[in-house]
Amino acid sequence: MKYRPAKIFSDNKRGQTGFTLLEVLMVTVVIAIVAAFAIPAFSTWLPDYRLKAAARELFSHFQQAKISAGKNGTYSTICFNQTIGAKTYSYVLFVDKDNDLEYDPSEELLVRKLWGEGDAYQGVSFDGSKGGGDGLTFSNNDDGIPAIAFQPSGIPISNSGGLGMGTVYLTNTNGKRMKLVLSSAGNVRIE
């Protein structure tokens, strides 16, 4: 008995194999219908995903600041809307060797975060309708920039030397809002 490979496509009237024009059109229509439902859902899902991801990353940077302060035996500070060179960053985290809650070029930068165009968190910003109009409730340092520092013990401190606490309000292009709350004990939570 001679071996014959199985036919994948059936033969049409002329002995050729392939798809008919009707079959190709039906598959195209089905794909178009699925895309019509999927694209609007994706366009509302993506900004919300970016907002949650930005909040989680900021949360982790607060944790990093606490760990860095303990490791280095000096303050680790987060300044919001900090200008370095020609760029204004959403926030920066640095080892604050002189414990003044102000970034100096000689201090080690651990994080520089700039939300905006071309960024993984495009469309995420501070919610200007909350806080002091900038979406932040942290005390300003002597440069007028909202800042919070963690002492080596992990306790947050404000520019005045008192216990530091505050809230970061975030929003996205869909108008969805989230906030990060830092307690005076150094605990951070996302709401």
User: What CATH number is associated with residue 84?
Assistant: 3.55.40.10
Q: Calculate mean pLDDT across residues 133-146.
A: 95
Angle at CA of residue 126, ends 124 and 130, nearest 5°: 135
Q: Calculate mean pLDDT across residues 59-79.
A: 97
**Does residue 2 lie within any of the structural domains?**
no
Angle at CA of residue 157, ends 154 and 158, nearest 5°: 160
Looking at residue 6, its pLDDT comes to 55
**Does residue 5 lie within any of the structural domains?**
no
CB-based contacts of 31, cutoff 8 Å, min separation 6: none
**Does residue 52 lie within any of the structural domains?**
yes
Count CA atoms within 13 Å of residue 117 on its CB side: 0
Give this prediction's pTM.
Answer: 0.79
**What's the structural domain count of the chain?**
1
Domain that holds residue 114: 21-190
Looking at residue 18, its pLDDT comes to 78
CB 178 within 8 A of CB 170: yes
Cα distance between residue 77 and residue 157, in whole Å: 9
**Does residue 165 lie within any of the structural domains?**
yes
Please write the tens of the pLDDT for every residue from 27-42: 998 988 887 777 776 6
CB-based contacts of 100, cutoff 8 Å, min separation 6: 141, 142
**Does residue 10 lie within any of the structural domains?**
no
Cα distance between residue 111 and residue 122, in whole Å: 18
Please write the tens of the pLDDT for every residue from 93-128: 999 999 999 999 999 999 999 987 667 888 999 999
